[in-house]
Amino acid sequence: MKLYDYILSPSCYKVRLLAALLGIPLELRAVDFHPGGEHRTPALLALNPAGSIPILEDDDLRLTESAAMLVYLASLKSSDWLGRDTAAEAARTEQWLSFAQRLTASLGGARLCEMLLRPGDLAALQAAGIAALRELEAALVEQRLRGERFLVADRPTIADIACFPYVALAPDGSVSLDPYPSIRLWLRAVRALPGFIEMPGIHRLHELKPEPVHGAEGEPA
Amino acid sequence: MTIGAMRDEWYPVGLRSKVDANGQQTLLMGEPIRLHESEGGEIVVETADGRRLPVVIGHGHVWTSLGQPDKPLFAIPEADQPGRRLVEVGVVRVRCSPLRAVENFLDIAHFPFVHTDILGAEPHTEVERYEVEIREHEDEVWATKVKFYQPQAAKSAAGGITTDYMYRVPAPTCSVLYKTCPARPGEWDVITLFVQPLTEELCDVWPWMALYDDVTPMTDLIHFQQMIFLQDRSILENQIPRRLPLDPGMEIPTRADLTSVAYRRWLKRHNYTYGAQLVAQ
Amino acid sequence: MPSTDAAPLTPLALSEDLPPATVMPIWTPEGPMALWRSVGGTLSLAADRCPHRGMRLSHGFVRGEALSCIYHGWSYDQGGRCLRIPAHPDLEPPASIRVATGSVLEAGGVIWRARADDPSLPPDFPGFVPLRSLSFAVSRDVISRTLGGESAGPGILKGTLAGSAVILLCAEQAEGTSLIHLLAPADATLDQRIAVSRAAETLRRAAETGTTEAAA
Ligand SMILES: N[C@H](CCC(=O)N[C@@H](CS)C(=O)NCC(=O)O)C(=O)O
Ligand code: FES
Ligand SMILES: [Fe+2]
């Protein structure tokens, strides 16, 4: 399975992250998104006329929407991650997959302006991003009241993976995450999943590893 | 705000390969400037009121100055050696002082925590003694005999190695580092950080490299360096204060920070204070 | 560095939002602080600025009983003393390396900024339990007016949201914004709690847009 990938793209990272969590190997093909703009070259437009990445190819299947890629990976490996146990759960998963596109447009747009100098109305993108974060926070508060740590259940699903990257990287677009305690705990829960991989801007939870003992080789601390 | 002695220095303002006749707008030390390529293929940089600024082309970038530089752009002789691949990493904007961006580049102690499993990893956190000097003739800060254990020192590195480094500060917002070249033992890879000060608390960073590596695709080389620098960005945007404190009482260095200490001292000595915090806060 | 104990009791956060081995950023009138809980459950408050190179400690990590900075891994104990400098594993950090600290108290599921020299206990609210914290982009006065409730002490409002009695603990934040800790009746059902949480969103929209439509 081949992923046209960019190390700084949160949308590509969604796919890499779920593949890592599920143990699915990916062949990565790096796309020179910045500064090269390779995603808009004829060769890449031939694969995805929309001129965006990620692009995922598996035999004769070619996908250009990250949400569809998450569905595909989860379907290959584990129905738990699909978030489709009940009619309501399936609908809520879809709701978050669509919501994730708002995150891409708002927080992702602000990040491209602030970080990679892409032209855009920064204040409007940030305001839309804050509105989305408030919705997410409210939903996560309700989930916690129900005793569930993730977006649609007490287990992680593709809904969480679809929303995680742009939320975690909101500060890249100068949108603070300080005001959202439930988002903070949810981000942490995702980062603590076995097999989690990071991307630049999202640091590892160093506390998951014990503090190294120095000068006491073989002896208890 | 005073630009002070930093006014007469050269600053990177764009990748030479990306400047065309359409031109581009940017900011240098608070002043809006425009650059474009003339019909004759010459790069023109001017302020909003039409003042033409001095221009040099070097190390893949366009350099200019609001003042009158009295010396040429610093040289990087190693980068001119045949057989190196020149890597234009592209611009990244950071909400921090240009001086904080350079200081972070000079630091190795953060590798295990910020570039985990790539440039460093616990328990290999120790920074051994190294040498630092201000070379009076060149008027540059140099750190040599720097060593650090690295799980993946470069895109071309196969496994963990102890890497040798040398650091050099040839201009207040530029740094050049030389590190062990996994593909050609005995030679040094050249990795630079050129920082364009937009304001005292905002900068555009232009990493650039001259590597011996005939194997790795160019895009992978770019991405490796972008990955490393973007790991630093979230640190740089969260240091308090945003400006680099030059008052020695404000932040506590240790022996591992000797390069930073020399850099701060050198900045102070030259009155290079654009982006510096002079009074304790 | 001295301790920065100046302010009277102010509510900082809800206990549930700070489980063991986590840290969160807090804004106080003295500046940004890092509130953290050790693995063993002890709460501490430190200035959100590492003495080494100024990195915000609220971005750090908690191992055991210490808070570590994400930048170079320096770690600090609950009293603010530097315990470990990873770049020099064999060095005992000098006692002079400290991060400023503050005092906190925890009662009824709420974490309060306390004064070391003041023995007063935080108020308790029998019959109420914490529901959630949320920030408003307006001052406390605007929230109070929009809620239309009554004051029950400094920074404490009583009112009704979604038909349930509620208590709002208000802390002024930077730039005219406010952090509200919302308490709901202890016997409220799950549906009632969710309704109160949603009504708080409505209250916030009304307060921020300057309308006074009753959120109750
Ligand atoms: N099709 C969407 C696209 C995601 C997206 O916005 N990708 C960015 C990179 S992170 C992109 O390719 N943008 C094109 C551009 O900005 O020119 C998805 O897969 O979720
Ligand atoms: S800034 Fe905190 S350890 Fe260096
Ligand atoms: Fe770094």
CATH of the domain at A33: 3.40.30.10
Distance B132 CA to ligand 1 centre (A): 45
Q: Are residue A186 and residue A86 in the same domain, yes or no?
A: yes
**Among A77, A98, A132, residue at a domain's last position:** A77
Backbone angles phi, psi at C157, to 5 degrees: -120, 145
Q: Residue A97: inside a domain, yes or no?
A: yes
Ligand 2 atom at shortest distance from the alpha carbon of C74: 3
Q: Are residue A57 and residue A27 in the same domain, yes or no?
A: yes
- CA torsion, points C129, C130, C131, C137, in degrees to nearest 10? 140
C195 C-beta closer than 6 A to ligand 2: no
Q: Residue B48: inside a domain, yes or no?
A: yes
Topology annotation, domain C128-209: Alpha-Beta Plaits (3.30.70)
Q: Are residue A88 and residue A187 in the same domain, yes or no?
A: yes
Q: Residue C43 in contact with residue C104, Cβ under 8 Å? A: yes
Structure-token pair, residue A6: 């960019």
Q: Are residue A153 and residue A131 in the same domain, yes or no?
A: yes
C50 C-beta closer than 6 A to ligand 2: yes
Q: Are residue A89 and residue A186 in the same domain, yes or no?
A: yes
CA–CA distance, C174 with C139 (Å, rounded to integer):
10
The mean pLDDT of C164-170, rounded to a whole number, is 97
Structure-token pair, residue B182: 């996994």
Q: Which CATH number goes with the domain that contains B179?
A: 3.90.380.10
Chain C residues touching chain A at CB-CB below 8 Å: 13-14, 16-17, 19, 21-22, 24-25, 27, 59, 61-64, 68, 70, 73, 84, 89-90, 131-135, 179, 190, 193-194, 197-198, 201
Ligand 2 atom at shortest distance from the alpha carbon of B239: 1
- pLDDT at residue number A216: 45
Packed helices A122-145 and A87-103: angle between N→C axes, nearest 10 degrees: 160
- pLDDT in single tens digits along all 281 residues of chain B: 578 899 999 999 999 999 999 999 999 999 999 999 999 999 999 999 999 999 999 999 999 999 999 999 999 999 999 999 999 999 999 999 999 999 999 999 999 999 999 999 999 999 999 999 999 999 999 999 999 999 887 888 778 889 999 999 999 999 999 998 888 888 999 999 999 999 999 999 999 999 999 999 999 999 999 999 999 999 999 999 999 999 888 999 999 999 999 999 999 999 999 999 987 65
The mean pLDDT of C101-111, rounded to a whole number, is 95
Edge-to-edge strands, sheet with B24-28: B24-28, B31-37, B43-47
Instruction: Give the residue numbers spanning the domain of B49.
Output: 4-64
Binding partners of B (≥3 Cβ pairs within 8 A)? A, C
DSSP state of C98: B
Residue A221 confidence (pLDDT) above 50? no
- pLDDT at residue number B281: 58
Q: Are residue B57 and residue B87 in the same domain, yes or no?
A: no
Q: Residue C111 in contact with residue C18, Cβ under 8 Å? A: yes
Distance C68 CA to ligand 2 centre (A): 9
Our CA-based measurement puts residue A181 at a distance from the nearest CA of chain C, in whole angstroms, of 6
pTM of the model: 0.95
Residue A79: CB partners within 8 Å, gap ≥ 6? none
Residue C53: CB partners within 8 Å, gap ≥ 6? B103, B239, B251, B260, C71, C72
- CA torsion, points B94, B100, B101, B106, in degrees to nearest 10? -160
Locate tokens 């040099």: which residue? Answer: B56
Atom 1 of ligand 2: nearest residue by CA position: C53
C53 C-beta closer than 6 A to ligand 2: yes
pLDDT band at A57 (very low <50, low <70, confident <90, very high): very high
Q: Are residue A45 and residue A93 in the same domain, yes or no?
A: no
Q: Are residue B113 and residue B50 in the same domain, yes or no?
A: no
* Whole-complex ipTM: 0.96
Instruction: Give the residue numbers spanning the domain of A71.
Output: 2-77
Q: Are residue B38 and residue B143 in the same domain, yes or no?
A: no
Q: By CA distance, what is C193's nearest residue in A?
A: A145
Which residue of C48, C71, C86 is in closest CB contact with B125? C86
Q: Are residue A131 and residue A178 in the same domain, yes or no?
A: yes
Q: Are residue A53 and residue A22 in the same domain, yes or no?
A: yes
- pLDDT at residue number A1: 97
- pLDDT at residue number C215: 46
- Three-state secondary structure call for residue C135: strand
Which residue of A134, A145, A178 is in closest CB contact with C194? A145
Ligand 2 atom at shortest distance from the alpha carbon of C72: 3
- Please report, in angstroms and rounded to a whole number, the separation of the first and last CA atoms in chain C: 47
Q: Do A178 and C134 touch (CB under 8 A)?
A: no
Among B195, B192, B160, B169, CA closest to B179: B192
Q: Do A203 and C59 touch (CB under 8 A)?
A: yes
- pLDDT at residue number C1: 40
Q: Residue A213: inside a domain, yes or no?
A: no
Q: Are residue A177 and residue A88 in the same domain, yes or no?
A: yes
Q: Residue A149: inside a domain, yes or no?
A: yes
Q: Residue B127: inside a domain, yes or no?
A: yes
Share of chain A above pLDDT 70, in %: 97
Domain boundaries, chain C: 10-114, 128-209
Q: Are residue B38 and residue B171 in the same domain, yes or no?
A: no
Q: Which H or E run contains B192?
A: strand B188-199
Q: Residue A205: inside a domain, yes or no?
A: no
Topology annotation, domain C10-114: Rieske Iron-sulfur Protein (2.102.10)
C-alpha separations of C76 from A184, C51, C98, C105 in Å: 22, 10, 8, 20
Q: Are residue A9 and residue A95 in the same domain, yes or no?
A: no
Least confident piece of the model among A110-114, A210-214, B230-234, C100-104: A210-214
Q: Do B252 and C97 touch (CB under 8 A)?
A: yes
Q: Are residue A6 and residue A37 in the same domain, yes or no?
A: yes
Q: Which H or E run contains C191?
A: helix C190-209
**Among A31, A61, A77, residue at a domain's last position:** A77
- Three-state secondary structure call for residue A54: coil
Atom 20 of ligand 1: nearest residue by CA position: A66
